[in-house]
A and B are shown apart, each in its own frame.
Chain A
Amino acid sequence: MSLEPGKLDVNQRRQIMTTVQQQLAIQMAQELLQKLSDKCFKACVPKPGGTLSSSEQKCIGQCSDRYMEAWNIVSRAYGERIKREQHRQ
């Protein structure tokens, strides 16, 4: 299937890149979910009961929304900082 022995053809390369991309995306999503759960459980469920009350659920929902917004703000600020540093050099 390869054009040359020991070399990747275009499709093989594309396939590997797609797989790597997907794996990284999954990894990032898992990390984000972990952070969200940690933060929002800590903030919203100080004393775990028999179930999650509706107010706890509402808090968790809002907390995860705010955390995602914060993530975007931080990401933008970080990107801008990097750009500023590059222009300074």
Chain B
Amino acid sequence: MSLASLANDPELQKFVAEKELENQLTAQVHHLTNVCFDKCLESNGNLSELSSRHTACLQNCVDRFLDCTTLITNRTIQRIQQGR
């Protein structure tokens, strides 16, 4: 097996591209959990179960964080387009 055969294999390339995408998505989940655990559970790991309030908080946290990212992205693009 040469490196050339690895690089030229289209099926392998497709596989690697898919895995990279999966990796990015999973990394995002790790990051969101990291942020939202702190926000919603207030470093109170000493819980015997997650209440429906905790669940709702986590779900909202994910959506609001992504809204925040979208807002910032759009604003940044605007600034670049306006040449500031």
Using CB atoms and an 8 Å cutoff, list the residues of chain A in contact with chain B: 2, 6-8, 12-13, 16-17, 20-21, 24, 28, 31-32, 35, 39-40, 42-44, 59-60, 62-64, 66-67, 69-71, 73-75, 77-78, 81-82
Contacts and interface: CB of A to CB of B under 8 A. Distances in A.
Nearest to B11: A13
Q: Size range of the interface on B?
A: 35 or more
A14 to B, nearest CB: 10
Contacts of A62: 45-48
B30 A16 contact: no
B82 interface: no
25 contacts: A6-B2, A7-B8, A8-B9, A13-B9, A17-B12, A24-B22, A28-B26, A32-B30, A35-B34, A39-B34, A39-B37, A43-B44, A43-B45, A59-B45, A62-B47, A64-B45, A66-B45, A66-B49, A67-B45, A73-B50, A73-B55, A78-B25, A78-B66, A81-B62, A82-B25
